[in-house]
A and B are shown apart, each in its own frame.
Chain A
Amino acid sequence: MSRKTINIPLGAQHISLLEPVRFKFECENEKIVGVDSDVGFVHRGVERACTTKFKFDAVGYVVARICGLCAITHSLAYTVAAENLLGAQVTAKAAYLRTLLLELDRIHSHMLCLSHTCENAGFEAMFMQIMGDRELVMEIQELISGNRVQFDYICIGGVNRDITAELGKKILENLTLVEKKVREYKDEFLNNWSLSLKFRGVGALSLEDAYRFNAIGPLARAAGLQTDVRNEMSYLPYKEIGFVMQMQESGDIHARNMVRLDEIQNSIEMCRNIVNGLPEGEIITKIKGKPQGETIVRYEAPRGELMYYVKGNGSAMLDRVRIKTPTFSSIPAFSEIFLGQEYADAPAILASFDPCLSCTAK
């Protein structure tokens, strides 16, 4: 018999993709039987630039440009690593403010992911609604940091801006609005029949595979693998502000969406606690010296675990900055999930991974 399969490309440029990534699906009819991926379109060479072009105190702003969505987590992870190497401590207030921005970032990133998943599932109205409501969060971010996307908020020793009392009130106001909306989305995601056709049981990752492929972030938590770096680290005050790990069992798109929705609610709760219980003190401490030694810092980005390995040699230039981004380590798991699915679902599945290719390729 002759050939039977067709090759369907998804990317590099495709309407359902925000970033260039290339999947080549080998399909029987529309059923995917083979996946070939190419993730290197956005490779710019940041790791090298961090050790050759920029001094250590500027690197925090450079690594933020790795990814617009999780810029803050990149700069945080790097800054913490640098502070470790310098042997410095930040004040409690700075730590709280950092956490506030991180969680706001998580909220808007998750909302973007949810809306994009809906868009790719052909639910335009939901996309518009979530994108519209996301502006509430963007507004707070702009008020706090001065920019909508690339904040440059965190610096070595603390943060760059303080929040005022009115701003605190505004934050609480907007968060309450968002919380109300999120409850509505939850209702929609749970009860809309066409969404359940599109999401339930589609693109599922079993718990076994989650362990095998070292799944991380919402992908792992949706499959029932209890892993969240916020639970496994000590340099941010998550224990005090009411962090709860959100779990689902089934591992499909629906479960991932539910994990994200639950996390948004938890993050709103945490932000509220931060604003209400913000400690007094300075937002920035002066730190002197040059980084020396090596360290590993992990942090939970919206997409999962982010890791920085930084090695200093006592001069202004670093020896090595190794960035392991969440999407990077999930790619093998992605390919596994696509097998056996319909091509029609592929964009929605891909969006539900919330892939961040500019993170991956650096």
Chain B
Amino acid sequence: MFRKFRKKSPWILHYNAGSCNGCDIEILACISPKYDLERFGVINTGNPKQSDIFLVTGPVTFRSRERLVELYTQMPEPKVVVAVGSCTCTGGVFRDMYNVEDGIDRYIPVDVYVPGCAASPELIIDGVVKALEVLEKKTKAMEKPRKLFSEATTKEGIVDRRECAQKVGEADAKDTE
């Protein structure tokens, strides 16, 4: 019953995991009068405990990954992660640099990918609106932490997100049966 209200009141938490801050200033621009994210009820809380949407920018650097996961775990369910910018999605131009972990989906499950270098405010808003739909559909089963930790690594020690997501889907299907 309450689920439809999730969509109407998304509060965002923004974390820069090592981006060039191009996307960050565009997120800031989203709040400004021209784009005005608050129309959708968005508040930039800056506090993981009161947020629903996690906007992450940057190709997770070595030092920020722990903080990223820490912040993610402090957010109460249901929550949605939006990866803003090319380097957040894949590592982008920073891919394979020695201090970079190539995109945040190695560490936390991502629901919406927003491409662009830098992602323009229109794209970010679009991403947030997409995230709202995901937020509405989220069930408790989707949020089980096994998605994060169990069987999440391949032989080389690299997370294959796509495979994990499939497994989770199967488990959910079983749950519903």
Contacts and interface: CB of A to CB of B under 8 A. Distances in A.
- Asked if A and B touch directly (CB within 8 angstroms), the answer is yes
Contacts, number: 130
A15 B98 contact: no
Contact of B118 (A53, A128, A148): A148
B24 A19 contact: yes
Contacts of A48: 97-98
Interface in A329-357: 356-357
Interface string B1-29: 00000000000010111111111111011
Interface in B96-117: 96-100, 117
Contacts of A15: 44-47
B67 interface: yes
A62 B93 contact: yes
A43 interface: yes
Contacts of A62: 93
Number of chain A interface residues as a range? 35 or more
Given A45-B100, A150-B118, A71 B20 contact: yes
Given A45-B97, A112-B28, A68 B118 contact: yes
A333 B11 CA distance: 36
B31 interface: yes
Interface string B40-64: 0000111110000000001101111
A149 interface: yes
B88 interface: no
A236 interface: no
A68 B16 contact: no
Contact of A20 (B23, B67, B93, B118): B67
Interface stretch (A87-95, A131-139, A192-200, A288-296): A131-139
Contacts of B31: 131
B96 A12 contact: no
A243 B62 CA distance: 42
Nearest to B71: A13
Candidate in A62, A69, A131, A134 with the most chain B CB atoms within 10 angstroms: A131
B90 interface: no
B67 A71 contact: no
Interface in A211-243: none
B34 A135 contact: yes
Contacts of A76: none
A252 B166 CA distance: 56
B93 A68 contact: no
A358 B93 CA distance: 14
Contacts of B29: 131, 134-135, 138
Given A18-B21, A53-B96, A149 B16 contact: no
A42 B61 contact: yes
B145 interface: no
Contact of B25 (A43, A44, A69): A69
A185 interface: no
Contacts of B67: 12-13, 20, 41
Given A20-B67, A132-B33, A132-B34, A68 B59 contact: no
B117 A65 contact: yes
A161 B46 CA distance: 39
A20 B67 CA distance: 10
A69 to B, nearest CB: 6
A43 B118 contact: no
Most chain A CB atoms below 10 A, which of B21, B33, B48, B98: B21
Contacts of A41: 18, 61, 63-64, 67
A358 B58 CA distance: 10
Contact of A13 (B15, B24, B28, B93): B15
A112 B22 CA distance: 12
Contact of B99 (A45, A132, A148, A149): A45
Given A15-B44, A148-B120, A43 B26 contact: no
Nearest to A21: B16
A150 B93 CA distance: 13
A82 to B, nearest CB: 18
Interface of B: 13, 15-26, 28-29, 31-34, 44-48, 58-59, 61-64, 67, 71, 87, 92-94, 96-100, 117-118, 120-121
Given A131-B31, A149-B26, 4 more contacts: A41-B61, A71-B20, A131-B32, A134-B32
List 6 tightest A-B contacts by C-beta distance, closest first: A68-B22, A15-B46, A131-B32, A132-B33, A149-B118, A149-B22
